[in-house]
Amino acid sequence: MSTDTSTIVLIGHGMVGQRFLEALAERGLTGTHRVVVLCEEPRPAYDRVQLTSYFSGRTPEELSLTDLAFIEEHGIELYVGDPAVAVDREAREVTARSGLVVGYDVLVLATGSYPFVPPVPNKDAEGCFVYRTIEDLLAIEEYARRSTTGAVVGGGLLGLEAAGALKGLGLTSHIVEFAPRLMPVQVDEGGGAALLRTIEEMGLSVHTGVGTQEIVVGDDGAVTGMRLSDGSELSTDLVVFSAGVRPRDQLARDCGLSVGERGGIAVDEQCRTVSDPRVFAIGECALAADGRVYGLVAPGYEQAETVAATIAEDESSFTGADLSTKLKLLGVDVASFGDAHGTAGDCLDVVYSDSRSGLYKKLVIGRDGTLLGGILVGDAEAYGTLKAFTGSVPPVSPESLVLPAGAGAPVQLGPSALLDDAIICSCNNVRKGTIREAVTEHHCSTVPEVKKCTKAGTTCGSCVKVLGQLINAELEASGVEVDKGLCGCFTQTREELYEIVLALRVTSYRELLDRHGREDARGGDGCEVCKPTVGSIIASLAPTIGAGTHVLDGEQAALQDTNDHFLANLQKNGSYSVVPRIPGGEIAPEKLIVIGEIARDFGLYTKITGGQRIDMFGARVEQLPVIWARLVDAGFESGHAYGKSLRTVKSCVGQTWCRYGVQDSVRMAIDLELRYRGLRSPHKLKSAVSGCQRECAEAQSKDFGVIATAGGWNLYVGGNGGATPRHADLLAQDLSDAELIRLIDRFLMFYIRTADRLERTSVWLDRVPGGLDHVRDVVVHDSLGICDELESLMAAHVAHYRDEWAETLDDPEKLARFVSFVNAPDTPDPVVAFVPERDQIKPDLPLLHIGLRPADDLLEGTATR
């Protein structure tokens, strides 16, 4: 196509439209052509992939993908809120709703898609919405304020996000999916089952294999329910249709362009319409040459690049695209890549499934060992690496790629094992070699710099972790010091931030960020990585630096993880657990009676845990202060089951009762638990004391464990009995009581000082240079000369400990947070319901409804993006 083309008109300004404009600018075409954009929405292009993040605090401005300075710099004429209403191909003119008429030499249609709404009675009633634009979300948010229950029609990607948004707005939420499983396009039956289990545990009701027959309305014309194809009826006052999308091709139909039998503007491999060489179509409105309409953003970006290249007379074509995708839906990782369903035939499956943990991993392997595709649910950590190996024979066995750490996997592959041709960012088609060149030839040294240089990681973000690993590996190979900052807000590691807080007596996150954060982060709000990390550091050092000692004091409250906000663990049905401390597992009969009476009076489920205390489950959030008032009056205090802090110090009965015991393990366990209670740390801490070498308290599977000997106590550290078990290492032996406590003081404070965020002692001990020998040199032999300081820090913690629940009960401002709905404080959460089981209660979670699947193609109506 000749460069004498003078005017390019773009109809539609979504994500793909904006990418097309950027591609034009990169090729210098905005300097040689007039570029006019007609945008229907009242705002320029924004990140529709991250649309649901609006409900978690991101503003429309933060979702924007359009830099107005870019628009102005390149002389682009952008008309928002003024869509095209007619195209005259003979006159080569486009008419906008405002009456504006623009002539074109090249016309690019990027009109996207529209939400499919099943043709059911009353689908347009008051209370019915679609989930597609920011304006849709604003309308849903407003209507939800006067609603109690919401139902989403569609269990695809957007449907699950919509259901999570409704639940976040305080509504009881239902998901109705016509297919026999959730996300039928992306996951198979096993992956769907794992996803279903996890989502139902969150308190959402799922109905699969049934369709919506009718929207039921009341006398005022507003939604009151839904009638389903199996004859059942849901009571709901808000309905969101998210049952898939259809190509928005009406404008093309009206001007005589050829469209597919099932929709979509027919285009060739250059994305030129088959009816008119001057008209192109890209994104979800286009029916590609391979006969597919692509609903993901990555293929749309490739089409945008293809059209820009064609206008610039560069050879380019779009012949298909990778449909791999990775998302976090309702907090659950879900990913699929390659031929995830094994449609190529003659292939084998490697499957790891743990339904208890909601994990499902499947790899599709060809007979020659080629990795063809896969599905990951619950843990998509390896997605970037696995996707990049798709189409090749991995250098290790398939089993090692899906087994979790500690389950026998012989090797864990990293990005460095990938070939340079491996696609790292499928959204923008960026290969590993391109990323390496950005580091070595263009001198990029950070993820933001590489993003800007290559566009990798700028769309869905699923490749950002692999991107960072590749950058660091390339820098280290070049002898360059790698940025190991905690996050995008701080260049310092957690250990360095700890030292800054301690040395400078920094008492607030805001002060730390504004004084020591990265320059472009100062004055901002921080991120989900550094806020709880800094909150934990300040809480650990509060007595020493003069900060508030309560995690709900002032700014500290906003930094805490979810459970700390209510000083209780949130359970699967929206209720909370109540866990009083029972030091060493020892409890007097009177206190046992109090726990029994409270559990009886509030109808709570009770269980004796492996950590030798009694958990009570099923409390509503507004009941927590009332329950804790009774517990505090009886002498109980918080067990910190919700915090990254000491949980329990388990014990056997020791020499007092056991004929094998050689030391008083119960007394020591109580002393240790009362000494370290409330100690905030990078990860939870567990401990145990055994009265003899028979090890009945299982001390060697704990973060710090103590075993009695005839000569005193042996101290073990770095154990872990969790998902990746690790046997603790012997740090010192035959210690007196005073020596034992002194070494534990030092060990814990050294760990808190130097560990990374969310790093358990077992992982820290394996990571720290020198391992156990170095830790022994520091805490036993004082090789760094810091032991006096470590002991002093622990002494300050012990001296200033206050029970968090007792202080909360004395503070009306803190008590005000214990409500289910801020705008309706007297309304209990309707999701919290129970049914009887074994003379107690269990959460009343919805059952899976399964019906017959019709013979026609169901998957077309599943939401894609």
> Mind listing the pLDDT tens digit for each residue in 261-307?
989 999 999 999 999 999 999 999 999 998 999 888 889 999 999 99
Question: Residue 371 gets which letter from DSSP?
Answer: E
> Mind listing the pLDDT tens digit for each residue in 677-711?
999 999 999 999 999 988 999 999 999 999 999 89
Q: Is the pLDDT of residue 851 over 50?
A: no
Q: What is the CA radius of gyration of the chain?
A: 30
Answer for the pair 377, 334: CB distance below 8 angstroms, yes or no: yes
Helix (H) or strand (E) holding 10: strand 7-11
**Mean per-residue pLDDT, 7-17:** 96
Q: Is the pLDDT of residue 228 over 70?
A: yes
Distance CA 482, CA 485 (A): 9
Q: Is the pLDDT of residue 787 over 50?
A: yes
Model confidence band, residue 104 (pLDDT cutoffs 50, 70, 90) = very high
Q: Is the pLDDT of residue 123 over 60?
A: yes
Taken in order of first residue, the domains within the chain and their CATH numbers are 7-114+247-311 (3.50.50.60), 117-243 (3.50.50.60), 494-560 (no CATH), 561-643+811-845 (3.30.70), 646-801 (3.30.413.10)
Q: Give the per-residue pLDDT at 423.
A: 79
**Mean per-residue pLDDT, 202-221:** 92
Q: Considering only residues 560 and 284, tell me which one the structure prediction assigns the higher pLDDT.
A: 284
> Mind listing the pLDDT tens digit for each residue in 620-676?
889 999 999 999 999 999 999 988 999 999 999 988 888 888 999 999 999 999 999
Distance CA 223, CA 128 (A): 7
Q: Give the per-residue pLDDT at 856.
A: 33
Single pTM value for the model: 0.56
Q: Is the pLDDT of residue 518 over 60?
A: yes
Residues 6 or more apart in contact with residue 308 via CB below 8 angstroms: 20, 23, 24, 26, 27, 29
> Mind listing the pLDDT tens digit for each residue in 349-397?
888 887 766 788 889 999 888 999 898 888 777 787 788 788 888 877 7
**Mean per-residue pLDDT, 126-144:** 93
> Mind listing the pLDDT tens digit for each residue in 709-728?
989 999 999 998 765 678 89
Distance CA 393, CA 470 (A): 21
Q: Give the per-residue pLDDT at 488.
A: 82
Model confidence band, residue 323 (pLDDT cutoffs 50, 70, 90) = confident
Q: Is the pLDDT of residue 193 over 90?
A: no
The mean pLDDT value of the chain amounts to 86
Model confidence band, residue 328 (pLDDT cutoffs 50, 70, 90) = low
Answer for the pair 204, 177: CB distance below 8 angstroms, yes or no: no
Model confidence band, residue 822 (pLDDT cutoffs 50, 70, 90) = low
Residues 6 or more apart in contact with residue 556 via CB below 8 angstroms: 535, 538, 539, 547, 548, 550
Q: Is the pLDDT of residue 847 over 70?
A: no
Q: Give the per-residue pLDDT at 666.
A: 94
Q: Give the per-residue pLDDT at 306.
A: 94
Answer for the pair 525, 488: CB distance below 8 angstroms, yes or no: no
Q: Give the per-residue pLDDT at 404.
A: 58
Q: Is the pLDDT of residue 316 over 70?
A: yes
Q: Give the per-residue pLDDT at 863.
A: 29
